Amino acid sequence: MTTRRHVLQQLGATALVATTTRAWAQGYPERPITFICPWPAGGTADLTMRALCTAAAKVLGQTIVVDNRAGASGMLGLKALAMAKPDGYTIGQVPISVTRFSQLGSVQIDPLKDLTYLARTSGQTFGIAVRTEAPWKTLKDFVAAAKASPGKLTYGSAGIGGATHVGMEEFALAAGVQFNHIPYKGGAPALQDLLGGQIDALADSSSWAPHVKSGKLRLLATWGEKRTHDFPDVPTLKDAGYAVVVDAPNGVAAPKGIDAAVEKKLRDAMKVAAASPEFLSACDRIDAPTMYLDGPDYEKYIAATYKKETQLIERLKLKELMAKG
């Protein structure tokens, strides 16, 4: 009899928890949501993610506040996201480079276990830009100068081990040259130093685009599979004979352990936001391709990228590069 009463009590408690959870999820969100952007304000990722948040907030009926936590090539913000309370009130952008950094040991996050993936949203248009007054008119000129003076030409990137750093080193390996890498906490400060003449070149997503259009910068090459819509006359690295393609799609995730009903609401909101005029316009301004995937498919993409990064780490000797800085 005692055992039977105990079982009934347990079942009643479980039912009460389930009912309370459902009721809580139905009322979600009841307050503003924090979106952690792991890059400085004003960069390309920040601009597109803010537009995404604006659109998603309309769907959810609550404000989404962007919290910029830059540093460590995007890993500081991502670690804060992974460690946040899984209540649906903290979400954020996932730099795809976590599939690399987690294997290099520079961030204590397992991208296959520590995050709940909500949506892949868009890709990035990467490229190499120099000042208009620079002596290198083409990528061929730039490579020739690097061969003539190994390690002399400087380039800025969004940080050590990030997509722009690794992409540039992959290009250098293919071209048989050596550059002097200057890491920054994001693409925005690197762009300012290029405009100010502190570095010779910039390897970044399309923060350079408005300045190329205004005539302040010259775009030597882009890194995608095909030429961009805004700069059809600029060759890709593949066009120039180098088998290097980098797109590094952005995505959105929540901490692991989020309630399934809340996850569904967020996934649905991100799907609508990724097709919204606000987001599409922001992507168009920086010539970034839209690459939407729903959460489960995005998670599969992360797993596949993780396997590819294992091979890239070995081929580029990335652990040695990271040690050098």
Predicted local confidence at residue 321, as pLDDT: 74
Predicted local confidence at residue 10, as pLDDT: 66
C-alpha span between 66 and 83 (Å, rounded): 17
Beta strands 217-222; 126-131: pairing state: antiparallel
C-alpha span between 153 and 174 (Å, rounded): 17
Note whether 134 and 120 are same-domain residues.
no
Predicted local confidence at residue 137, as pLDDT: 97
Count of other CB atoms within 10 angstroms of residue 322: 17
Note whether 132 and 235 are same-domain residues.
yes
Please say whether the beta carbons of 115 and 254 come within 8 A: yes
Note whether 272 and 195 are same-domain residues.
no
pTM passes above 0.85: no
Domain that holds residue 162: 126-246
Residue 183 within a domain: yes
Among 246, 279, 301, the domain boundary falls at 246
Closest C-alpha to 166, from 110, 223, 112: 223
Decide: residue 13, CB within 10 A, 0-12 exposed, 13-18 middle, 19+ buried. Answer: exposed
C-alpha span between 160 and 72 (Å, rounded): 7
What is the number of domains present in the chain?
Answer: 2
Note whether 88 and 67 are same-domain residues.
yes
Q: What is the CA radius of gyration of the chain?
A: 22
Among 199, 224, 246, the domain boundary falls at 246
Residue 98 within a domain: yes
Note whether 289 and 233 are same-domain residues.
no
Note whether 120 and 253 are same-domain residues.
yes
Among 246, 280, 296, the domain boundary falls at 246
Q: Which residue ranges in the chain fall short of pLDDT 70? A: 1-25, 325
Note whether 106 and 145 are same-domain residues.
no
Predicted local confidence at residue 152, as pLDDT: 97
Beta strands across the sheet bearing 290-294:
64-68, 33-37, 90-94, 250-255, 115-122, 290-294
Note whether 109 and 183 are same-domain residues.
no
Predicted local confidence at residue 6, as pLDDT: 62
Predicted local confidence at residue 139, as pLDDT: 98
Note whether 130 and 113 are same-domain residues.
no
